[in-house]
Chain A
Amino acid sequence: EVQLVESGGGLAQPGGSLRLSCAASGFTFGAYTMNWARQAPGKGLEWISFITPSGDHAEYTDSVKGRFTISRDNAKSSLYLHMNGLGDEDTAIYFCAKGHSFDSWLTDFWGQGTLVTVSS
């Protein structure tokens, strides 16, 4: 059974940093693309970052470019999101999402999410 469990969320100061983690199990983690997405309170979904199976290529939505960094450790079946320069607009539930295949942009399984609140 595929499982994705996010952690690392919490309260951050404006301008501060957080590192989110996503522990994966139930599939061959290193064979799939992975993504982070987020959902602000009461709002819709927003894709924010993508990484290839080997970790050699990553992409970001414009609003987080230069501030967020996605990475992965295939030996630990873990995905990470390093977030710097946090602002109020980054307050959201952050979801880790598994890609459909080794080269797919489609996500086929999402974790339950971890809440990030940016506030002074």
Chain B
Amino acid sequence: RKEVEQDPGPFNVPEGATVAFNCTYSNSASQSFFWYRQDCRKEPKLLMSVYSSGNEDGRFTAQLNRASQYISLLIRDSKLSDSATYLCVVNSRTAGNKLTFGGGTRVLVKP
């Protein structure tokens, strides 16, 4: 089983709709969680950190469920520019601040 698993998608989303997807992680000692966005042939960019109580940044909402070991990302009022691959990233109690990346969920927002 992979340490961090994501549905690769693609999630085809009409413009203006809401889309949500999850990421599961296997290491219960995982401490920190992030969502990154990666555009085609570009580097990943931090979208948001995920806090225990859940957090929101504009149209993006992230949730953490420690009991079931998953995090989620919800995008409201999807824009064409939200089309990208969203990478789930997890840190476990290891040295060097090593992060483990999921394979990414591809989202395609269509007019």
The answer to whether A binds B is: no
Identify the B interface with A (CB < 8 A). none
Point out residues on A near B: beta carbons under 8 Å: none
